[in-house]
Structures are given as structure tokens and as C-alpha cells.
Amino acid sequence: AQKVTQAQTEISVVEKEDVTLDCVYETRDTTYYLFWYKQPPSGELVFLIRRNSFDEQNEISGRYSWNFQKSTSSFNFTITASQVVDSAVYFCALTGGKLIFGQGTELSVKP
Amino acid sequence: SQTIHQWPATLVQPVGSPLSLECTVEGTSNPNLYWYRQAAGRGLQLLFYSVGIGQISSEVPQNLSASRPQDRQFILSSKKLLLSDSGFYLCAWSPTGVGGYTFGSGTRLTVV
């Protein structure tokens, strides 16, 4: 069975701090995709990144970066120099045919 | 371009009343379609998914059902709502199930 674990329920940081959101997954599939989504207070899900299981290259997009390590089944997300607008719930998700979400991490960035 | 429509945005229904939430996709054919629920707290739970017309897979036994009467239409229903059915319902589509997923804007359902 597939499972995604986001052990951090809530994180609170002060603006400009770096913050890393952890994600650990379980799957027996050899081909799968991992995702990160952002859910602001309005509720919609905002797509951030998709990574396939054969691509372990880390990715950077502006202040966002992702570290994918198959050896530890982790797909961690780092926000550098956090801003108040980064405050949201962040979900890690996994699919091998149907998208399964972690429980989410609520990030609060204080000015 | 592909778009997904979900309505209504908010809904308040009494216990025991029926429910029908509709989701439609435009600009694509034979999409995989999904219904998720986000109850109090934050977890997004997969309720149903469909890979074709009339094909529905249920992930969690519950008071809800789903139907796919047309290729790009996915309906979530209940004959009698329970208080525990309250939550935020999201529809999504994916071309293959392992590619990208696009989510609707969601329906916030409150059962009173």
C-alpha cells in the first residue's frame, strides 16, 4: 500500500528564516511520481512540483528547493528566506495511479 | 486548454437531505477523475476515482456514492447526509493517473 507521512504538523518561523518541510513515502511501485502542493486559506490546491521516481536531481525554483532521495524514501521541501505569503498548509503526495496525500504541514511565517 | 469546473462553491444542507455535487472537465478526453474530501483538520482523503464512463472505484466505505454518466462529468451524491459528511470536497482530473493532476476550486459542505 502507498503511504505518505508528513511528521511535522505545524511549523512557525519568523520571516527570512529558512524552513524545511519533511516528507517520507512508502510504495512498492518502481515507477511513481511525487508532488508538493500549497493550500492557502482560500482552500484551493496550488501545484508546486512533480518529480518522477527516476529523476533524483534536486530542483530549485526561486526560493523553493526540493531534495529527493530514493535511498531514504524522502522528498523534502525547503523555503529559503521565508515570507509571510508563504503561510499555508503544504501537502506532499504520491501517485502510482491514484494520488495519495500526506496529512499536511501548516506553515506560519510571522513578520 | 483544459479546465475543471466544480460547483457549488459552498453548500449548507440539513441532516438527512440528499446531496449532488458536480464536476466537469473541458478540453480533454477520457480523463481520470477523482473526488477528495478534506474534513476538519487537513488530510485530503481520496473518496472515489474513475478511469472511464461508468467505472467507479471506491476507496473508503461511507455514506457517499459517485457516478460518471459522461466522459467528462463526475458526480458525488448522497441519499441522506450525515453531520460527518461536512467538509471540503475537491474534484480533480489527470490524463493518466501518473502525470499531472488538476484540482477544482472545491465545495465547502456544511451539514446542519
At B2-37, the pLDDT tens digits run 789 999 999 999 999 999 999 999 988 899 999 999
What confidence tier does B43 reach under pLDDT thresholds 50, 70, 90?
confident
Q: What is the mean pLDDT of residues B43-65?
A: 90
**B73's grid cell:** 462529468
Cβ-contact B44, B90 below 8 angstroms: yes
Dist CA A22 CA B35 (whole Å) = 26
Contacts with B92 from chain A: Cβ below 8 Å:
99
Dist CA A6 CA A100 (whole Å) = 12
Is residue A34 scored above 90 in pLDDT? Answer: yes
Is the CB of residue B35 less than 8 Å away from at least one CB of chain A?
no
**A37's grid cell:** 502542493
Q: What is the pLDDT of residue B93?
A: 93
Helix (H) or strand (E) holding B12: strand B10-13
CA B31 vs. chain centroid, Å, equals 14
Is residue B98 scored above 80 in pLDDT? Answer: no
The chain A residue lying nearest B106, using CA atoms, is: A44
- Chain A residues within 8 angstroms (CB to CB) of chain B: 31-33, 35, 39, 43-45, 47, 50, 89, 91, 93, 95-104, 106
Burial of B71 (0-12, 13-18, 19+ CB in 10 A): middle
Dist CA B88 CA A97 (whole Å) = 23
Q: What is the pLDDT of residue A77?
A: 97
